[in-house]
């Protein structure tokens, strides 16, 4: 079946294309009689507007980019679902890009997005990202950016995060109240703002409960799973903590493996908790105590914030949203 265009409608009605377009959009400039004629013919001929042509006329692609640091994470998968739910409801398409925790790849992605046609960007930084120099072009070109979960200091972008400091503090207090006084902290990466907030919450809880923070009980780890297991094994054997606080879920998985290899049992020999959105955490042996971030809500809020920026064009109005996490207490931290 032939696609009916605005030009075809205008020809049959002996009207101009702009007049037909305004009539279909219920413009006050067009009489009701003309609107009725245009809509009647459009319905008769099964006219469907072309959203892409409309977007081009408005200099909009109706596309936003979502840049995440890892594709396999349940947390970022849930965020993606939240973003797509809001974006699709508003007629936007979402391009998903993954930096694989590499600053070089993140920079390359950003450059492609600047050169391409996207209306706005949602970004969570890689583990290697230390500053926002590679994002300055977005500011110069007035392309809206919203950072989520992992943010960058001193950049003029709105953000959506969870209460990392407060939830980390509460989780550490939980360990202390379960008779732990030598609590190790498994830190992911060296530069991530959200991890630094989790570390500070942990340290403040120790201080408030008269347990002096000890840098020797902080172990910095990266992405390599096998290497992390070996480092955690040595850390446990040498430092002898009675509990470990994993700042991200894959470090908790490595801890389960490490304990198994050196014949330690959780929680009898070592208590363990972690930030994790894994639904199966309750089925681990033993079930893992988790700090669960509101990932879907972070995605929804980030997309809503970005689309509002696109609508209102007030890029200088910075808004920082924080959504509370929840702690699910399970057997891995019980006495």
Q: What 3 state SS string does 8-23 have?
A: HHHHHHCCCHHHHHHH
pLDDT at 187 over 50: yes
Percent of the chain at pLDDT > 90 equals 71
Q: Give 79-138 as a DSSP string.
A: HHHHHHHHHHHTT-EEEEEE-TT-HHHHHHHHHHHHHS--SEEEE---TT---SGGGHHH
pLDDT for the residue 1: 43
CA angle 301, 307, 309 (to 5 degrees): 105
256, 247, 221, 232: which is closest to 168 by C-alpha?
247
Chain Cα centroid distance, residue 123 = 7
Q: Per the structure block, which two tokens stand in for 325?
A: 């996490």
Domains defined along the chain, listed by start? 6-49 (no CATH), 63-161+295-323 (3.40.50.2300), 164-293+327-333 (3.40.50.2300)
User: What Cα–Cα distance (Å) separates residue 188 from each residue in 115, 249, 276, 328?
Assistant: 32, 10, 13, 21
**ω into residue 172 within 30 of 0, thus cis?**
no
Rg (CA), the chain: 26
Q: Per the structure block, which two tokens stand in for 167?
A: 């939830």
Does the pTM surpass 0.75? The reply is yes
Confidence band (pLDDT; 50, 70, 90) for 56? very low
178, 226, 239, 168: which is closest to 199 by C-alpha?
168
pLDDT for the residue 201: 98
Specify the DSSP element, H or E, that contains 272.
strand 271-275
Lowest mean pLDDT among 142-146, 171-175, 181-185, 311-315: 311-315
Region 237-260 average pLDDT: 97
- The region, left, alpha or beta by phi > 0 then psi within -120 to 50, assigned to residue 296 is alpha
Q: pLDDT higher for 316 or 265?
A: 265
Q: How many CB atoms lie within 10 A of CB 207?
A: 11
Interatomic CA distance for residues 243 and 183, integer angstroms: 5
pLDDT at 238 over 90: yes
């Amino acid at each position: 079946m032939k696609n009916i265009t605005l030009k075809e409608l205008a020809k049959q009605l002996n009207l101009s294309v702009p007049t037909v377009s305004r009539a279909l959009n219920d413009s006050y400039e067009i009489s009701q009689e003309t609107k009725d004629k245009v809509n009647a013919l459009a319905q008769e001929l099964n006219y469907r507007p072309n959203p892409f042509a409309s977007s081009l006329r408005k200099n909009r692609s109706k596309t936003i980019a979502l840049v995440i640091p890892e594709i396999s994470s349940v947390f970022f998968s849930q965020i993606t679902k939240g973003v797509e739910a809001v974006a699709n409801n508003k007629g936007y398409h979402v391009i998903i890009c993954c930096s694989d925790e590499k600053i070089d790849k993140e920079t390359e992605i950003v450059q492609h997005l600047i050169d391409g046609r996207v209306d706005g960007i949602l970004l969570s930084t890689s583990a290697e990202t230390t500053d926002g120099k590679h994002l300055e072009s977005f500011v110069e070109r007035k392309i809206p950016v919203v950072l989520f979960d992992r943010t960058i200091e001193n950049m003029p972008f709105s953000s959506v995060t969870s209460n990392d400091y407060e939830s980390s503090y509460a989780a550490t207090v939980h360990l202390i109240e379960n008779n732990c006084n030598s609590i190790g902290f498994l830190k992911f990466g060296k530069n991530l703002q959200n991890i630094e907030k989790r570390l500070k919450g942990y340290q403040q809880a120790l201080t408030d409960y008269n347990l002096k923070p000890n840098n020797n009980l902080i172990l910095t780890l990266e992405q390599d799973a096998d290497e992390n297991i070996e480092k955690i094994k040595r850390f446990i054997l040498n430092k002898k903590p009675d509990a470990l606080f994993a700042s991200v879920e894959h470090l908790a998985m490595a801890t389960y493996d490490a304990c198994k290899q050196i014949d330690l049992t959780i929680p009898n020999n070592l208590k363990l908790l972690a930030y994790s959105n894994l639904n199966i955490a309750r089925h681990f042996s033993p079930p893992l105590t988790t700090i669960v971030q509101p990932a879907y809500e972070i995605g929804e809020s980030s997309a809503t914030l970005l689309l509002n920026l696109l609508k209102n064009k007030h890029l200088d109005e910075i808004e920082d949203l924080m959504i509370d996490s929840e702690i699910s207490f399970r057997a891995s931290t019980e006495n």
